[in-house]
């Protein structure tokens, strides 16, 4: 599949200068760089800002017995000033900011945000969320859960988390994606994966 093979690699970029312009809840680096061009030679040096983030893990919580999903709501500053409420319906998610495996992060976040236990984790995919401006790399999983035990308010006080657990029928969640009521990338990708792979997933979990 030659068309999928990129013509350039990491060595085809030259970072001339790099420094951290801001470090707070987020880190922003300022870079001057150049790269090889498709028609040959190198580009002129140019400036870019780069949002430097840890890897992220997202987990879709699916109850195959009741055909429910367990999702969460919490405030998201990136949605300020939009028409939508800044409390979107989302997957459980967190950052890989400790010496843990991705599966350990998934299990920890499930417990912290919902009080449920991870079970039968299945890897969905990995992707760069916004490679034009950020280093964030996301790994998505699906975990089997018992939605009859889900509910309440969760999260860590020292991380200023105020998380509502929401149980929603899988068909209702898929309809929410179709009409745009669920429109954050992590949730859309996971739910579309479930729509394509539900039968295979159920066979795997039997």
Which residues carry out catalysis? 159
- How far CA 175 is from CA of 171, 172, 180, 184, in Å, comes to 6, 5, 8, 14
- Choose among 116, 103, 174, 109: nearest CA to 146: 116
Q: How far apart are CA 145 and CA 57, in angstroms?
A: 17
Structure tokens that stand for 80 in this block: 């300020």
SS3 110: helix
56-63/46-52 β-pairing: unpaired
Q: Which residues touch 29 (CB under 8 Å, ≥6 apart)?
A: 18, 19, 20, 21, 49, 50, 52
- Choose among 192, 168, 196: nearest CA to 178: 192
Report residue 117: phi and psi, to 5°.
-100, 140
Q: How far apart are CA 17 and CA 62, in angstroms?
A: 46
Q: How far apart are CA 121 and CA 125, in angstroms?
A: 12
């Amino acid at each position: 599949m030659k068309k999928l093979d990129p013509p350039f690699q990491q060595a085809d970029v030259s970072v001339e200068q790099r420094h951290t312009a801001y470090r707070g809840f987020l880190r922003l680096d300022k870079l001057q760089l150049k790269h090889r061009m498709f028609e040959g030679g190198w580009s002129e040096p140019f400036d870019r800002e780069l949002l430097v983030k840890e890897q992220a893990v997202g987990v879709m919580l699916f109850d195959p017995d009741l055909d429910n999903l367990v999702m969460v709501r919490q405030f998201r500053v990136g949605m300020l000033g939009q028409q939508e409420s800044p409390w979107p319906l989302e997957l459980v998610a967190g950052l890989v900011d400790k010496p843990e495996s991705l599966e350990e992060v998934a299990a920890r976040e499930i417990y912290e945000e919902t009080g449920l236990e991870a079970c039968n984790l299945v890897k969905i995919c990995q992707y760069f969320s916004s490679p034009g401006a950020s280093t964030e790399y996301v790994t998505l999983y699906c975990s089997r859960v018992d939605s009859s035990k889900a509910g309440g308010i969760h999260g860590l006080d020292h991380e200023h988390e105020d998380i509502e657990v929401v149980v929603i029928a899988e068909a209702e969640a898929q309809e929410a994606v179709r009409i745009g009521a669920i429109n954050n990338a992590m949730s859309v990708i996971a739910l579309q994966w479930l729509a394509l792979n539900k039968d295979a997933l159920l066979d795997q979990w039997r």
